């Protein structure tokens, strides 16, 4: 019994610390579907692989305008052609300029280059950061980011952006299916910017 009490106290202290530094909530997918349906957005996607391509496709089908970008623009053009008139392809700079909101979904080791290439376009832009640092894939920068905290590390690598950390807790396949099961799947979302949370939440 004593160990359970200590565990509960430790957990309460941890959650209090999180609440003190981040606006954090768990939102069920599609719980804001009605709001999102009435508030269409332009979304730029930098990194249209498994996560970026899946989320962008769902958003296009929900009526948002999405510009896909990556290192392989031919793949982006093929995806946009398949999705119809609300989808288009461009360079990362074009996607960053196009989007009211920017989704960045690249290997963590690529974030420094993304931050440099898009520097002036990121100022005050709401940036959805899905990037998780994996040491086995990303090397030393992942070790640094995990020690610092991924959200704080991303804010340093993408200076001036209004970072929202989300879409990094479940697989891309589940993200693509979640809107079919409203209220059945939750997604963590974290930021120190309440307005950015409010804009991003309907997209979740």
Q: Which residue segments constitute the domains of the chain, with CATH numbers given? A: 40-169 (3.40.50.720)
4 pLDDT higher than 60? no
Share of the chain above pLDDT 70, in %: 79
Considering the chain, what is the average pLDDT of its residues? 84
CA pair distance 75, 64, nearest whole angstrom: 20
Q: How confident is the model at residue 175 (pLDDT cuts 50, 70, 90)?
A: confident
At 200, is the pLDDT very low, low, confident or very high (cuts 50, 70, 90)? very high
Distance between CA atoms of residues 198 and 25, nearest Å: 11
Q: Where are the alpha helices (DSSP H) in the chain?
A: 2-21, 33-37, 50-61, 73-83, 92-98, 111-117, 135-138, 140-148, 150-157, 172-178, 194-200
Tell whether the model's pLDDT for residue 159 goes beyond 80.
yes
- Residues 98-111: pLDDT tens digits? 999 999 999 999 99
- Whether residue 38 is predicted with pLDDT greater than 70 in this model: the reply is no
Concatenating the DSSP letter of every residue in 167-198 gives S-SS-HHHHHHHTTSTTS-EEEEEES-HHHHH
Which pLDDT score is estimated for 39?
83
* Average pLDDT over every residue of 28-47: 66
Mean pLDDT lowest among 26-30, 47-51, 123-127: 26-30
Nearest CA to 79 out of 109, 58, 102, 108 is that of 58
Candidate from 21-35, 95-109, 123-137, 140-154 with smallest mean pLDDT: 21-35
């Amino acid at each position: 019994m004593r160990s359970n009490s200590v565990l509960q106290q430790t957990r309460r202290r941890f959650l209090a610390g999180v609440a003190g530094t981040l606006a954090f909530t768990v939102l069920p997918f599609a719980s804001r579907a009605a709001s999102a349906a009435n508030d269409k957005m332009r979304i730029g996607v930098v990194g249209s692989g498994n996560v970026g391509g899946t989320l962008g496709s769902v958003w296009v089908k929900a009526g948002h305008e999405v510009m896909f970008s990556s290192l392989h623009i031919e793949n982006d053009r093929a995806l946009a052609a398949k999705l119809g008139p609300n989808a288009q392809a461009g360079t990362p700079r074009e996607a960053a300029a196009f989007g009211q909101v920017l989704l960045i979904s690249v290997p963590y080791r690529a974030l420094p280059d993304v931050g440099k290439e898009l520097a002036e376009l990121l100022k005050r832009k709401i940036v959805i950061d899905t990037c998780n640092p994996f040491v086995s894939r990303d090397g030393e920068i992942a070790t640094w980011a995990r020690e610092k905290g991924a959200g704080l590390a991303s804010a340093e690598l993408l200076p001036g952006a209004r970072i929202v950390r989300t879409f990094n807790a479940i697989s891309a396949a589940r993200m693509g299916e979640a809107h079919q099961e409203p209220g059945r799947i939750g997604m963590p979302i974290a930021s120190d910017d309440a307005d950015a949370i409010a804009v991003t939440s309907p997209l979740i």
